[in-house]
Structures are given as C-alpha cells and as structure tokens.
C-alpha cells in the first residue's frame, strides 16, 4: 500500500505504482494461462485419442484456440509495460479474435458432425480415460481461481481485453465440468454414449465463444 500524505488526495505515484503492479500480475497470469492451456491441449487430445473420446479431443482443441485470448492479453499488457502505442495492439486484438472465433465455429461444427454420426450409427467405442478425468477435474478447480485473479487485474487496469480473457478462463471451467461428467458416466456405468452427448453439450458454449470473438463482444457481468 502506498504511504498516505497529510493531504486528502493521494499522490499520483500511488495510482501509477498500483497500475504497474497490476500489469505485472496480469503479465504473469497471462503467461501462466498460455502454458496451462497448451499443456491442457496436448494432454486432453492425447488422452482423447487413446480413449476415442470426442469430448476430450474437442476440449483439448478448444483450450488451444482459447490460448489466443491469453496471447492477446499478454500482448496488451506488454505493450503498456514497454510504453508502446496501443494502436497496433488493438488491431492485432481484433484480427486475433476473428481468427480464433472462426476456428471455434469450425470446431463446433466438427464436434456436431462427429458426435451426431456416433449417436445415429450407434458407434459408441469410447472408453473412460483416468487421465482425462484427472485433467478435467484439476481444470475445474484451477480455472475459476485463475480467472478471478485475472478479473481483479482487469478491473484495476480497466482493460476490456483483460476482462474478456478473464471470463474466457472462467468459462473453461464449465467445459471442464461437462467433459468430466461425460467421462465419469463412462467410467462408472459404462455409458459410452455419454461421451458424444457431453461433446454435443460443449457445442453451444464453443459456438457462443466463437460468435462473441468474431463480433468483438464480451458477454460478462459488470461486477466480478
């Protein structure tokens, strides 16, 4: 906390110091998100291929695409920390959001087609994945904590990009929950059809994220 002088108004250095501290935290949180999402993608896709799980594979690729949001957030923070102009950063943010949004919509389409095919043909060869269950369970704990920390930084800095990234991280927890339920049902009762159903449940979440990214919107609450 900055020391308070005898006058009522705090010195400008206090606000500047608090902002710099928040920016540094935002930078570290963005880097942590990037590392986590890339690792999550690799493990989820690998486990999904071994278990023939559409939900796990879709969850993994969604994590990779969502990494673009963390990259934009890191870029945004780095630009201010290095005192660069933000015009280029804003342009890159819009472009990256549109590309990520398009990829998310394509992912939603692919999941719909493959899950629908499995449900219609009765091809339910999905096996329970202990690795997938552990990963999604861990993600269900980690992502809300990480998202709330990023949300506090976004409020201090006053950045839409950071706020959107924070809610992307929190939304990932819902995807973790959906995927975990499908995997748990397969493991507990042998309901292999639960995996394509869980994958289909991911489609609205992924599609909404894709549309919001393309439009440059953030459907989030006003207060954390």
Boundaries of every domain in the chain: 13-215
The per-residue pLDDT for 220 is: 45
The per-residue pLDDT for 124 is: 63
On the question of pLDDT at 212 being above 80, the answer is yes
Give the separation between CA 141 and CA 213, rounded to whole angstroms.
25
Residues comprising the chain, all counted: 224
Burial of 129 (0-12, 13-18, 19+ CB in 10 A): buried
- Can you tell me the mean pLDDT for 209-222? 67
148 membership: H or E segment, kind and range: helix 130-157
The counts of H helices and E strands in the chain are 6, 0
The per-residue pLDDT for 204 is: 92
pLDDT tens by residue, 20-77:
888 889 899 989 999 999 999 999 999 999 998 999 999 999 898 888 878 878 887 8
Q: Which of 99-108, 120-129, 135-144 is modeled with the greatest confidence?
A: 135-144
The per-residue pLDDT for 99 is: 81
Question: Is the separation of the CB atoms in 73 and 81 below 8 Å?
Answer: no
On the question of pLDDT at 103 being above 60, the answer is yes
- The pTM score is 0.78
Q: Which of 219, 192, 17 is nearest to 115 (CA)?
A: 192
Give the separation between CA 184 and CA 194, rounded to whole angstroms.
9
Unique residue bearing structure tokens 């291929």: 49
CATH of 13-215, one of 1.20.1070, 3.20.20, 1.10.357, 1.20.1510: 1.20.1510
- Can you tell me the mean pLDDT for 134-150? 94
The per-residue pLDDT for 93 is: 67
Q: Where are the alpha helices (DSSP H) in 158-193?
A: 160-189
Contacts of 110 (CB under 8 A, 6+ apart): 58
């Amino acid at each position: 906390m900055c020391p308070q002088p005898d006058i009522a108004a705090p010195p400008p250095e206090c606000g500047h110091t608090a902002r710099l501290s928040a920016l540094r935290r935002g930078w570290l949180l963005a880097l942590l998100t990037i590392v986590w999402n890339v690792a999550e993608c690799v493990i989820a896709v690998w486990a999904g291929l071994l278990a023939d799980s559409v939900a796990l594979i879709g969850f993994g690729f969604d994590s990779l695409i969502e990494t673009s949001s963390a990259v934009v957030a890191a870029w945004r923070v780095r630009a201010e920390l290095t005192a660069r102009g933000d015009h280029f950063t804003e342009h890159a943010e819009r472009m990256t959001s549109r590309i990520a949004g398009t990829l998310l919509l394509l992912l939603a389409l692919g999941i719909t087609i493959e899950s629908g095919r499995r449900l219609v043909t009765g091809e339910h060869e999905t096996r329970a994945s202990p690795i997938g269950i552990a990963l999604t369970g861990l993600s269900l704990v980690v992502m809300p904590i990480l998202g709330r920390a990023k949300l506090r930084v976004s409020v201090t800095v006053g950045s839409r990009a950071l706020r959107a990234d924070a809610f992307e991280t929190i939304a990932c927890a819902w995807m973790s929950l959906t995927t975990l339920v499908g995997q748990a049902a397969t493991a507990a009762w042998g309901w292999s059809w639960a995996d394509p159903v869980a994958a289909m449940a991911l489609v609205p979440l992924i599609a909404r994220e894709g549309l919001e990214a393309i439009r440059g919107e953030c459907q989030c609450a006003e207060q954390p």
